[in-house]
C-alpha cells in the first residue's frame, strides 16, 4: 500500500519542435544564427497577417505556394530518407530525415519568388525615379543575405549537412520559379473572375494584379479620400 502511494517518476515532457532550436551554450554566433533560423516562422506570421488585413488574391496565391513547397519538402524527405548529421544530437525534431533542408527550401522559395515579383511583376516604367528603383535593389540584397544566413545556420547548428542545405535551396528556387509562372500565366487572368464571386465580395477579397505599384496607389487613394472627407467636414461646420 505504501509502495502505491509513492510518487512515480514524472513523464518526460515533449517540446514543440517548430521553435525548439538548440545552439552551443556560450556561443554568441550560434545564438544569433538560432534566431535567424526562426525567420521562416516570422514570414508565415507575416503572410497570415497580410491575408487577414489585405485579402489580396496574389498574396493568397503566394502563401499557397509556400504551403505547397512545404508539402513537397515533407514528401521528398520521406522518399529520400537521408538522416541528419550524426554529430548533431538534437532532440525534439519533427523528423529524423534531413534531405532536403526544409528551412533552406522555404527561405529560398520565398526569396526567389520575391525577386521575380519585384523585377517582373512590378514593371519598371520609363519615368520611374532612381530612388524608386534603388529600393528594389537594396531589398533584394537584404533578402539574399537573409537566405544565406538562414541556410548557413542549419549547417552551423548541425541540423543539416551542406548537401542537404544546397539541395533544399535549389528545390525551393525551382519550385518558386514554377509557381510564379503558374500564378502569372494561369491564375492571374482568373483573379478578376474570382474577385467577383459572391463569397469573395462577402470577405472583401480583391484583385490588384493590374495595379503596378499598389503601395503608391493605396497611399494616393487614401490621401485623396481623407482630404475630401476633411473638406466636407469643414463645409458642414461653417
Residues of the chain with pLDDT under 70: 1-20, 87-95, 122-132, 212-213, 234-238
Q: Are 43 and 70 in contact (CB under 8 A)?
A: no
Q: Are 165 and 85 in contact (CB under 8 A)?
A: no
Looking at residue 206, its pLDDT comes to: 86
Looking at residue 5, its pLDDT comes to: 47
Looking at residue 129, its pLDDT comes to: 64
Looking at residue 12, its pLDDT comes to: 55
DSSP assignment string, 97-128:
B-SS-HHHHHHHHHHHHHHHIIIIIS---TT-
Burial of 74 (0-12, 13-18, 19+ CB in 10 A): middle
Q: Are 137 and 23 in contact (CB under 8 A)?
A: no
Looking at residue 170, its pLDDT comes to: 93
pTM of the model: 0.79
CA distance 180 to 182: 5
Q: Are 195 and 205 in contact (CB under 8 A)?
A: yes
CA distance 136 to 20: 34
Looking at residue 126, its pLDDT comes to: 45
Domain boundary assignment for the chain: 23-207, 213-238
Amino acid at each position: 500500500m505504501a509502495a502505491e502511494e509513492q510518487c512515480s517518476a514524472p513523464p518526460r515532457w515533449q517540446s514543440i519542435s517548430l521553435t525548439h532550436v538548440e545552439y552551443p551554450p556560450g556561443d554568441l554566433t550560434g545564438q544569433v544564427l538560432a534566431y535567424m533560423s526562426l525567420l521562416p516562422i516570422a514570414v508565415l506570421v507575416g503572410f497570415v497577417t497580410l491575408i487577414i488585413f489585405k485579402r489580396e488574391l496574389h498574396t493568397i496565391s503566394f502563401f499557397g505556394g509556400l504551403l505547397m513547397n512545404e508539402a513537397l519538402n515533407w514528401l521528398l524527405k520521406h522518399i529520400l530518407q537521408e538522416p541528419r548529421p550524426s554529430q548533431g544530437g538534437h532532440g525534439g525534431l519533427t523528423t529524423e530525415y534531413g534531405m532536403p533542408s526544409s528551412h533552406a527550401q522555404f527561405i529560398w522559395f520565398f526569396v526567389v519568388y520575391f525577386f521575380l515579383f519585384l523585377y517582373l511583376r512590378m514593371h519598371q516604367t520609363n519615368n520611374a525615379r532612381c530612388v524608386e528603383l534603388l529600393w528594389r535593389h537594396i531589398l533584394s540584397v537584404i533578402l539574399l543575405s537573409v537566405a544565406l544566413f538562414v541556410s548557413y545556420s542549419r549547417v552551423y547548428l548541425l541540423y543539416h549537412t551542406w548537401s542537404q542545405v544546397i539541395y533544399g535551396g535549389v528545390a525551393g528556387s525551382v519550385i518558386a520559379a514554377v509557381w510564379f509562372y503558374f500564378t502569372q500565366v494561369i491564375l492571374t487572368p482568373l483573379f478578376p473572375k474570382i474577385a467577383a464571386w459572391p463569397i469573395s465580395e462577402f470577405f472583401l477579397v480583391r484583385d490588384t494584379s493590374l495595379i503596378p505599384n499598389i503601395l503608391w496607389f493605396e497611399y494616393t487613394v487614401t490621401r485623396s479620400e481623407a482630404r475630401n472627407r476633411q473638406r466636407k467636414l469643414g463645409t458642414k461646420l461653417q
